[in-house]
Structure 1
Amino acid sequence: MNIFHFTYNFLATALSLAVLPAVWMQARRDPARKAVLAQRLGYCLPSRDGLNPARPRIWIHAVSVGEVKAAEAVVNALDIACRKVPILLTTTTMAGQRYARRQFHGRATVEYAPVDLWTAIGRFLSVHRPDLLVCMETEIWPNWIFRAHGAGIKTVFLNGRISARSIRSYMKIRPLMKPTLEKVNAFSMISAMDARRIISLGAPAHRVQVNGNAKMDAQDWAVDDALIENLKRTYAVDDHTPVFIAGSVRGAEMDILMDVYGRLAVQVPGMVFIIAPRHIENSPGIAARASAKGIDWQYRTQLGKTGRARHSPVVILDTIGELHHLYGIATVVFCGASLVPLGGQNVLEAAAWAKPILYGPSMEDFEEARTLLETFGGGMCVKDEVELTERAAYLLTHPCEARRLGCLAKKAILSSQGAAGRHARMIADLLHLPPA
């Protein structure tokens, strides 16, 4: 443990001593929250004594839903290529936990991840005793990696990516990052840019490979025609209805998109405008903005109740987990967190449905996906709300062109599949797994 790691642990411990008592007192009133907090601190963990000690165990950490989807694709590829091995999957967010429990039911043990405290991770590892720690994307937790290394547990980063914004933050603490990354056995990165960035942080270059994006192989890329028909009925649209979907909208974009709707409504008769905030708690804020501008709107949860159909031109999404499939009824998609300096959101979900995708200039967190789409011609950057309105209006009134660009976006997805298998082979090699 060098001075930087010692300082990190000192500060983390001091912060936990200051914050945890208050958090614990709050959690005591809610048994579910109390159980989660205890689990994250390394207590009340289920015993793993029943596992076959001869079979290697893999701990996969996936922060939230997006990372769980990538992990699912890798595990599916691993199951196909090798004998099944026990999987422990951890998440940080509640949304990720719910999704993981649903998708991995019967295939993996799903728990909350331990906090990066020396004692908490020690308790976690002593109970679960994994042979390999898999960090999806790039979750760099020093104590996880140091303690795993000390216990003889191999570590690998899969589907690794580091955005332009993240690298700037990480470089400020490079003296801590470098010795941490030196203890990682392998890095399976999404793109060459991600590889260069992880090497610049201190990862040994000979352990770094570029294997693509496992999310391209996620099962939910498959189109469910029956589900789409059901959504069309719910939203009262058909194949000729111009539908504009603004997904994962954040911050000032909520005001911007209301102005964009006002302009589009004049230019595109019969348009249905669906807006989905990145965080569901912001739905009432969008509703308030719409009301203030005299816009007729409905919440998604109001549709289909007691036979009620959509009657308003604007629908505000106030549900969790529907946006991905909702892209299937869109004519044009705008991907949010990009007209404001927030790094963008994942544009590939809409591309999977063969939809043309518009986004703002702030796509730093998804450079690889943006480059892929633009290479094939399925994605377009708009510099501001005026250009967004112009591009959207053109595509909404020229559906043949919208379908052509959507097919190019889908082609981009198909061109990049197979990454999950390459990531899975890295796991198999590290654990010396025999083929099935």
Structure 2
Amino acid sequence: MNIPYLLYVFTGSILFLLLFPFFLLYSLITGKHRKGLLQRLGIYINVPAASISGVPRIWLHAASVGEVKVAGAIIESINSQLPECEIIVSTTTTAGHELSIKSFKGNVTFVYAPVDFILSVRKSLSAFKPDILVCIETEIWPNWLVQAHKMGIRTMIVNGRISVRSIRKYILIKQLMKYTLSCIDAFSMIGKEDAERIRKIGAPLERVEVNGNAKYDLLVRQTIPEINLKMKGIFNLKGGETVFVAGSTRKGEEKIILDTYMEVLKDFPDTILVIAPRHIERTHQVETIVREYGCQCQLFTELKVAERKSPVVIVNTIGELQDLYSIATIAFCGGSLVPLGGQNVLEAAVWGKPVIYGPYMDDFLGAKDLLEQFKGGIQVENGHDLTEKVRYYLLNKKEADSIGDLARRAVMSNKGAAGKHTAVICKHL
């Protein structure tokens, strides 16, 4: 038995047993994290695990909203190749869980993922008895993966990505990671850099392959004219309006966006600003900031029941950002002007929009590099640079259209990854 793994099990178990009573009390008092609490412990009272009869039985783990979207592309591909299979989708976050229920129909069971406590993961795996456990992107949980391997369940990482920030942390626990990764049967990674990084932390060379980003397939399928028409209706757009969409913004970026917006208004006084904070619990905070700038604003949910009258709209829903990019004249992807790794620039690019991002794109280097390879990306260094670039492309529509077209071509050039990842899953069933 691997000593680092034994230490992980021992210390993790002690910490879990010591801290769980306090967490439970906090949850009961505040109501937070109460949803799915028993499922996180491996107890499935209202989930008919025994009645799941499809063969093979595939467990897909998608941590949150982003991974759930990837799961959608892979599930569609799996169903076309294995129509009799049963799929279990687990998520870590409430937002991810709700989006998965909303998005997937048919032979899919929805659960919360167990905490990485050895008894919880064994109880979960015993309840559902999957033929294969598929973790999406960077979900590497030692107990879950090691215990699945010990129980004879095949394990995989698909659409795998290892960011620059992640690998720094993993290297600190390399011996634990090496043992955990030795229990994984296949690594179907997004890009060469991801493959190199996972090998660097211990993945067996012969089990690693590169198959692209399944999110591209989903992005392309979701760019349909009906979505654009729907969003135009919600925003009461008549045609010709300038719309600046700032997606997945983080703390510290909204003021930068609003500084830019105030400058844009000098040339385009009717510009509509759409701010979609990365975490919707910050909605009230963002509202306060907008009003400090003297701007009227409405919440996105209000537009679904009443006419838009304010120039600034704050998005307070989950899972609609890509659709919102369809009405953008120009887009900005957040988490990139502050050192938080960026966001997926391709959600705007697939609509053929000029997309701007800051220098901090460590978590999405593959997407950034793809855009820049096609000369379809616009990087800025700071708030002043953002203002200059936004004004430039709004004043030079032909150049904006051209760079948006190049951005879309970049996404279209990488279709087909979901099928490749699914082929790897099928090979190990």
TM-score normalized with structure 1 length: 0.93
> Any conservation in 2 of the 1:159–1:212 contact (CA below 8 Å)?
yes
Q: Secondary structure at the match of 2:49?
A: coil
Residue-pair matches, total = 428
Report what 2:13 is aligned to.
Answer: 13
After superposition, what is the alpha-carbon deviation per residue over 1:321-372, rounded to whole angstroms, capped at 9, x for unaligned?
A: 3222111100100000000101001111111211110000000000000011
In structure 1, how many angstroms separate the alpha carbons of the residues matched to 2:358 and 2:112? 34
Report what 1:150 is aligned to.
Answer: 150
Paired amino acid for 1:367: L
After superposition, what is the alpha-carbon deviation per residue over 1:177-211, rounded to whole angstroms, capped at 9, x for unaligned?
A: 00110111110000000000000000001110000
Report what 1:402 is aligned to.
Answer: 400
The correspondence for 1:344, drawn from 342, 345, 364, is 342
Report what 2:191 is aligned to.
Answer: 191
In structure 2, how many angstroms separate the alpha carbons of the residues matched to 1:370 and 1:31? 39
1:288-327 equivalences under 5 Å are: 288-303=288-303, 305=305, 308-327=306-325
Report what 1:160 is aligned to.
Answer: 160
In structure 1, how many angstroms separate the alpha carbons of the residues matched to 2:268 and 2:201? 49
> Any conservation in 2 of the 1:56–1:85 contact (CA below 8 Å)?
yes
Paired amino acid for 2:227: L
Q: 1:329 to 1:219 in 2, by over 3 A?
A: closer
Q: CA deviation at 1:295?
A: 2.4
Q: CA deviation at 1:78?
A: 2.0
Paired amino acid for 1:166: S
User: Structure 1 residues 265-274 or 243-252, which shifts more?
Assistant: 265-274
In structure 1, how many angstroms separate the alpha carbons of the residues matched to 2:108 and 2:219? 17
Report what 2:173 is aligned to.
Answer: 173
Unaligned runs of 5+ in 2: none
> Any conservation in 2 of the 1:268–1:397 contact (CA below 8 Å)?
no
Q: Secondary structure at the match of 2:120?
A: helix
After superposition, what is the alpha-carbon deviation per residue over 1:16-45, rounded to whole angstroms, capped at 9, x for unaligned?
A: 122211222344579995561111111235
Q: CA deviation at 1:51?
A: 4.1
Report what 1:393 is aligned to.
Answer: 391
Q: 1:262 to 1:32 in 2, by over 3 A?
A: closer
Over the aligned positions, Cα root-mean-square deviation in angstroms equals 1.9
Report what 1:48 is aligned to.
Answer: 49
Report what 2:109 is aligned to.
Answer: 109
> Any conservation in 1 of the 2:53–2:86 contact (CA below 8 Å)?
no
Q: 1:79 to 1:300 in 2, by over 3 A?
A: closer
Q: CA deviation at 1:233?
A: 3.0
After superposition, what is the alpha-carbon deviation per residue over 1:282-310, rounded to whole angstroms, capped at 9, x for unaligned?
A: 222222122222223333233354xx432
In structure 1, how many angstroms separate the alpha carbons of the residues matched to 2:304 and 2:98? 25
Report what 1:244 is aligned to.
Answer: 244
Q: 1:44 to 1:231 in 2, by over 3 A?
A: closer
Q: CA deviation at 1:422?
A: 0.5
TM-score normalized with structure 2 length: 0.95
Report what 1:265 is aligned to.
Answer: 265
Q: Secondary structure at the match of 1:329?
A: coil
> Any conservation in 2 of the 1:188–1:209 contact (CA below 8 Å)?
yes
Q: CA deviation at 1:219?
A: 6.3
Paired amino acid for 1:275: I
In structure 1, how many angstroms separate the alpha carbons of the residues matched to 2:33 and 2:254? 31
Report what 1:362 is aligned to.
Answer: 360
User: Structure 1 residues 345-354 or 29-38, which shifts more?
Assistant: 29-38
In structure 2, how many angstroms separate the alpha carbons of the residues matched to 1:127 and 1:16? 21
